[in-house]
Amino acid sequence: MAFTEFRPLDEKSLIEYIKTVPSLYSKLGSDLKVKEVGDGNLNFVYVVVSHAGSFVIKQALPYIRCIGESWPMTKDRAYFEAVALRELGRLNPEHVPEVYHFDHTMSLIGMRYLEPPHIIVRKGLIAGIEYPLLAEHMSEFMARTLYFTSLLYRSTTEHKRAVAEFCGNVELCKHTEQVVFSDPYKVSQYNHWTSPYLDRDAEALREDNVLKLEVAELKSKFCERAQALLHGDLHTSSVMVTHESTQVLDPEFAFYGPMGFDIGAFLGNLILAFFAQNGHADQVNDRKTYKEWILRTIEDTWNLFHKKFIALWDEHKDGSGEAYLPAIYNNPELRQLVQKKFMEDLFHDTLGFGAAKIVRRIVGVAHVEDFESITDASRRADCERRALEVAKLLLKERRKFHAISEVISAIQKLQS
């Protein structure tokens, strides 16, 4: 069977495909078993196992899987995902699964299977499981990725070449522009929310002029600022964990953009998880202790990221990075001023982008299981409304916050 043109694979045809690819077939041999496990919005994901080993196959479709052919989407996203996985893996080999194979024609990636007990972080958060190394590992991943792909480390020539590589991922960037920065603030056929409980809340977003000004500024930064290589969709379903391991997946939205977008996406989804806990509490477990752990994880993630990012900056201060030339920024006092301003701006970007991510997951097209798994609609809406209040506060007043501890205090005030 030839695979010279694109076609969606099923469990049977995938086995035939694998037999034509030595780099995959040699890992498993005969007696292959295939199971489709994709629960995301976009792609087919298969786990392939045999007595000799296992791997994952991911195939991009020419449309959004959760909506159907009425919302087309380029298959080329698989190419950018494969390129990003390899670059992210080069920078973070302990936290990114290895790519074994990429087929551009079939829009297909073969990669390491993250065997049990790895679990998607979002599912662990719903179950109330604590992951002691999550903040440590995610701060390391973000610090290394964002520093080493920025002009703090690279020359402008290197940076522009890398930016150009990912400019072709424009369709997925436009998708993000629509679902994060546009649709939640206007009437859109794809928007939905916990109705009727949040009808007025959704309307208030569309009528809030100050909020719209802030969102416009964030959208401008997203579209115009090629600061570093971003995962592009770094929410809690794009990370798998055990108590010892943290693995980042699914960078098909990868592009060069503002650093705060990735950091904000991860922290914003932790905030969503925090406010969802009241909907998962019961008489056996009120989730109060777990909510405290989530808040500590948010605080630790930012603080550890800040520490590690500055440490990398200091270590390579005399390197080839052209953002701040050593010949100009040549004394410790000036470097500290530059770093302070840089990190303050990044902190405020992080809060703004994180808040925008919260809003889109409550009134936009694609929601999150944290809330959707709360069966009582009134209870779910109450959790969502509190998260929206935090998001609006962070969007409109983020520049008033100067430390992550202040953000945690604001969340605690609005939780009840």
pLDDT digit string, tens, across residues 231-272: 999 999 999 999 999 999 999 999 999 999 999 999 999 999
pLDDT in tens, 305-334: 999 999 999 999 999 999 999 999 999 999
As a whole number of Å, the end-to-end CA separation of the chain is 61
Every domain of the chain and the residues it spans = 11-111, 119-413
For residues 42 and 225, the model is more confident at 225
Q: Say if residue 41's pLDDT is above 70.
A: no
227's tokens: 């600061």
Three-state secondary structure call for residue 248: strand
Instruction: Give the integer Cα–Cα distance in Å for 172 and 222.
Output: 12
Is residue 122 a contact partner of residue 270, using CB atoms and an 8 Å limit?
A: no
Residue 73's Cα: distance from chain center in Å?
19
| Strand 108-111 relative to strand 99-103, pairing | antiparallel
25's tokens: 């077939």
DSSP codes, 36-47: E---SSSEEEEE
Q: Say what the pLDDT of residue 42 is.
A: 79
* Mean pLDDT value across residues 83-103: 98
Q: Say what the pLDDT of residue 71 is.
A: 78
Q: Which amino acid is at 382?
A: D
280's tokens: 């998962």
Q: Which residues contact 355 (CB under 8 A, 6 or more apart)?
A: 264, 268, 390, 391, 392, 393, 394, 395, 398
pLDDT in tens, 202-241: 999 999 999 999 999 999 999 999 999 999 999 999 999 9
Q: Say if residue 405's pLDDT is above 80.
A: yes
Question: What single-letter DSSP state applies at residue 39?
Answer: -
Burial of 367 by CB count in 10 Å (0-12 exposed, 13-18 middle, 19+ buried)? Answer: middle
Peptide bond into 62 cis (omega under 30): no
Is residue 302 a contact partner of residue 263, using CB atoms and an 8 Å limit?
A: yes
Instruction: Give the integer Cα–Cα distance in Å for 141 and 97.
Output: 13
* Mean pLDDT value across residues 13-18: 97
Q: Say if residue 119's pLDDT is above 90.
A: yes
Instruction: Give the integer Cα–Cα distance in Å for 411 and 288.
Output: 14
Task: Give the H/E segment covering residue 276.
Answer: helix 259-280
Confidence of residue 30 (pLDDT cuts 50, 70, 90): confident
Question: What single-letter DSSP state applies at residue 97?
Answer: P
Q: Say what the pLDDT of residue 70 is.
A: 77
For residues 70 and 384, the model is more confident at 384
Instruction: Give the integer Cα–Cα distance in Å for 21 and 45.
Output: 18
349's tokens: 């970007």
pLDDT in tens, 375-404: 999 999 999 999 999 999 999 999 999 999
Q: What angle do CA 227, 231, 234 make, to 5 degrees?
A: 120
Find, among 322, 166, 153, 181, the residue nearest to 257 by Cα.
Answer: 166
SS percent in the chain: helix, strand, coil, step 5: 55, 10, 35
Confidence of residue 72 (pLDDT cuts 50, 70, 90): confident
**E-strand spans in 182-236?**
228-230
Confidence of residue 93 (pLDDT cuts 50, 70, 90): very high
* Mean pLDDT value across residues 276-296: 98
Please tell me whether the overall predicted TM-score, pTM, comes out greater than 0.85 for this model: yes
Q: Say what the pLDDT of residue 63 is.
A: 83
> Is the domain defined by 11-111 classed in CATH 3.30.70.20?
no
Query: Considering only 28-32, 99-103, 135-139, 174-178, which range has the smallest mean pLDDT?
Result: 28-32
Q: Say what the pLDDT of residue 66 is.
A: 65
Instruction: Give the integer Cα–Cα distance in Å for 232 and 253.
Output: 5
CATH code of domain 119-413: 3.90.1200.10
